[in-house]
């Protein structure tokens, strides 16, 4: 299967290597042609590099891994044609360009809104699924927590897309917890704030969430 990754930062690079490891064909997208050589070097020769729109066109399944403040503009610029009907794993978090307060990141959304809902409204025909938003990049691909599978909280409006993402997450070493429709991103996106607090306060970044169930 072909995976198109819109985003060339550490998340885009990490997931590109993860998908290659699991046997997928991958194109990473950047809007900065000057990054092409560096991206090839960092992700390996099997990864193709193109623009955001080329990556979106290439992928049967897409990953959105751009800075939160740029996500809406990137989705608009890529356009509906390359996105409609496709499952889009949305890793983004609506982090404001402002310093954290006592280790708590600032968001530009409210609790009655989320970045993924905004993206879903921009392209109603795309099948956005929140995923990989509440784990650090070091632990996105088959993390080793001593045999315990960390939980990835997901949500989205399309049941088939969530099943597809659940299968991908299982390959990447996560159990999925489906929190329902796109509105649940209002609760999932702030988990990024919680995940970052130990790091920002105590430089401790080696944890993951686990949902305990009886
Ligand atoms: N870092 C983590 O461990 C982590 C964990 C979970 C979730 N996330 C989320 O994943 C997303 C990606 O994070 P990241 O750490 O990989 O890097 P990032 O610096 O947040 O994003 C890098 C990407 O954003 C694009 N970008 C930045 N400013 C832009 C602008 N003004 N217009 C268009 N594109 C712009 C860059 O474009 P070019 O390619 O053109 O340079 C690049 O592709 C973020 O939303 C973040 O909150 C991060």
137 ligand 1 Cβ < 6 A: yes
For residues 36-49, give the mean pLDDT.
93
CA of 15 relative to ligand 1 center, distance in Å: 13
How sure is the predictor about 6, in pLDDT bands with cuts at 50, 70 and 90?
very high
Question: What H or E segment, with its residue span, contains residue 21?
Answer: helix 10-21
Quick one: average pLDDT of 76-95?
97
Looking at the DSSP bridge assignments, the partners of residue 60 are none
CB 62 within 8 A of CB 56: yes
Instruction: Report the alpha-carbon distance of residue 61 to residue 88 in Å, rounded.
Output: 6
Round the average pLDDT of the chain to a whole number and report it.
97
- Cα 6 to middle of ligand 1, angstroms: 9
Longest dimension (CA), the chain: 51
Q: Please state, in angstroms and rounded to a whole number, the distance separating the CA atoms of residues 29 and 33.
A: 10
CA of 171 from ligand 1 middle (Å) equals 23
End-to-end CA distance of the chain: 36
Q: Is 12 in the pocket of ligand 1 (CB under 6 A)?
A: yes
Ligand 1 atom nearest the C-alpha of 12 is: 16
Ligand 1 centre to CA of 66 (Å) is: 3
Q: What is the DSSP string of 183-198?
A: GGHHHHTTHHHHHHHH
Q: Is 68 in the pocket of ligand 1 (CB under 6 A)?
A: yes
Pocket lining: 115 vs ligand 1, CB cutoff 6 Å? no
Regarding the beta carbon of 50 and ligand 1, being less than 6 Å apart is answered no
Strand partners, 89: 63, 129
174 — pLDDT class (breaks 50, 70, 90): very high
Place of tokens 């404001």: 96
CB 58 within 8 A of CB 48: yes
The predicted model scores a pTM of: 0.98
Q: Which whole number is the average pLDDT over 185-214?
A: 98
């Amino acid at each position: 299967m072909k995976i198109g990754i819109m985003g060339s930062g550490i998340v885009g690079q990490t997931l590109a290597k993860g998908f290659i490891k699991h046997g997928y064909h991958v194109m990473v997208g950047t809007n900065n042609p000057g990054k092409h050589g560096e991206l090839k070097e960092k992700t390996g020769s099997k990864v193709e590099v193109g623009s955001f729109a080329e990556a979106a066109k290439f992928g049967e399944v897409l990953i959105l891994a751009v800075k939160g403040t740029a996500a809406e503009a990137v989705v608009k610029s890529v356009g509906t044609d390359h996105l409609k009907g496709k499952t889009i794993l949305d890793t983004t978090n609506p982090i404001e360009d402002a310093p954290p307060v006592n280790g708590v990141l600032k968001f530009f959304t409210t609790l009655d809104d989320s970045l993924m809902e905004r993206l879903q409204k921009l392209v109603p025909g795309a099948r956005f699924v929140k995923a990989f938003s509440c784990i650090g990049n070091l632990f996105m691909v088959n993390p080793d927590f001593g045999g315990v599978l960390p939980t990835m909280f997901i949500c989205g409006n399309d049941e088939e897309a969530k099943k597809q993402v659940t299968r991908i997450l299982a390959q990447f070493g996560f159990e999925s917890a489906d929190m329902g429709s796109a509105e649940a991103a209002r609760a999932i996106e702030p988990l990024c704030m919680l995940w970052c607090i130990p790091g920002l306060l105590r430089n401790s970044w080696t944890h993951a969430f686990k949902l305990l169930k009886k």
